[in-house]
């Protein structure tokens, strides 16, 4: 059972929650601010919201008929009968509640505006596949991922630590949101046929797999364009280090085009790993640039 609940959290997708916090922390450090306590709370909050969203998705995709025996992706816990539907739903709500309670520490640390951000994040996390207007079933899942796992998570981390919003953190948020959404693109590309049957009208379900391939490539290019804007704004050559990973992203796009069936699960995992690679390179580059500049100060 413990292994089942770990699987329900979908660990391979969690870089989407971790990377914005890492990069946002690095950006705050570049601005001259750093504090472990809010960083830890931001990280735990982001992870809990994503895990709860994944669990709610497991439950609601089963209830709405999107997870069937025809599914190509990894076995879902509710659809397979390994976890009872009501237990999965209750677990997701408990994890959302835990995220809310832990997030209150950020309100105490910074200000009440973060309460609004936290509550909205939780509502939309639940509403990704739950509630009367499930975003993923209306083709709005991409907007949710780019906004919350990109802009909100990255800029929010900077705001918690520094107390201000910046254009530079917005560039970073756009970049990470687009790369995180490529994970969703692969997911929807793989599940197009079963999504159509269930009435889950993702963008790829509506407009086809060729659209998904184009979306993957476009998001990759715009993400690195946003990185270029960040490098130009900070005027620091160290920050261009993640460009070394760009060919890896192009290779993944080519692999996606040539892959079908269960092998797409591997492309999804590699896309998540690519996001982590870029995040580590960028966060590391920013921290190194700060250390180097500090060593040359009189």
Domains of the chain: 2-291 (1.10.600)
Distance (Å, rounded) from C-alpha 270 to C-alpha 86?
A: 32
What does the pLDDT average to over 197-206?
Answer: 93
Q: Is 1 helix (H, G, I), strand (E, B) or coil?
A: coil
Residue appearing with tokens 């130009």: 232
pLDDT in tens, 93-117: 999 999 999 999 999 899 999 999 9
Whole-structure pTM value: 0.94
Residues near 81 by Cβ (< 8 Å), separated by ≥ 6? none
Q: Tell which residue, 246, 161, 248, 142, has the closest CA to residue 204.
A: 142
pLDDT in tens, 35-46: 999 999 999 999
Residue 75 has pLDDT above 90, yes or no: no
């Amino acid at each position: 059972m413990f292994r089942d609940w770990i699987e329900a959290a979908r660990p391979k997708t969690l870089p989407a929650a971790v990377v914005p916090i890492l990069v946002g922390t690095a950006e705050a450090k570049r601005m001259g601010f750093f504090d472990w306590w809010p960083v830890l709370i931001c990280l735990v909050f982001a992870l809990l919201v994503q895990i709860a969203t994944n669990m709610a998705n497991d439950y609601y995709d089963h209830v709405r008929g999107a997870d069937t025996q025809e599914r190509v992706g990894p076995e879902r816990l509710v659809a397979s009968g390994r976890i009872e539907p009501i237990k999965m739903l209750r677990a997701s709500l408990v994890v959302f509640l835990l995220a809310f309670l832990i997030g209150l520490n950020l309100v105490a640390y910074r200000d009440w505006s973060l309460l609004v951000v936290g509550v909205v994040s939780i509502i939309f996390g639940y509403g990704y596949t739950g509630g009367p207007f499930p975003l993923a079933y209306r083709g709005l899942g991409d907007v949710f991922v780019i906004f919350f796992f990109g802009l909100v998570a990255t800029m929010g981390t900077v705001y918690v630590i520094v107390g201000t919003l910046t254009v530079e953190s917005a560039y970073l948020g756009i970049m990470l949101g687009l790369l995180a959404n490529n994970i969703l693109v692969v997911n929807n590309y793989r599940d197009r046929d079963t999504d159509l049957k269930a009435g889950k009208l993702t963008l790829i379900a509506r407009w086809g797999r060729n659209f998904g391939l184009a979306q993957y490539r476009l998001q990759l290019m715009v993400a690195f364009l946003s990185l270029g804007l960040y490098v130009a704004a900070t005027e620091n050559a160290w920050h261009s280090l993640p460009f070394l990973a760009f060919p890896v992203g192009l290779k993944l796009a080519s692999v996606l085009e040539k892959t079908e069936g269960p092998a797409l699960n591997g492309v999804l995992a590699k896309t998540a790993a690519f996001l982590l690679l870029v995040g580590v390179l960028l966060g590391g580059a920013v921290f190194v640039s700060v250390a180097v500049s500090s060593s040359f100060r009189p």
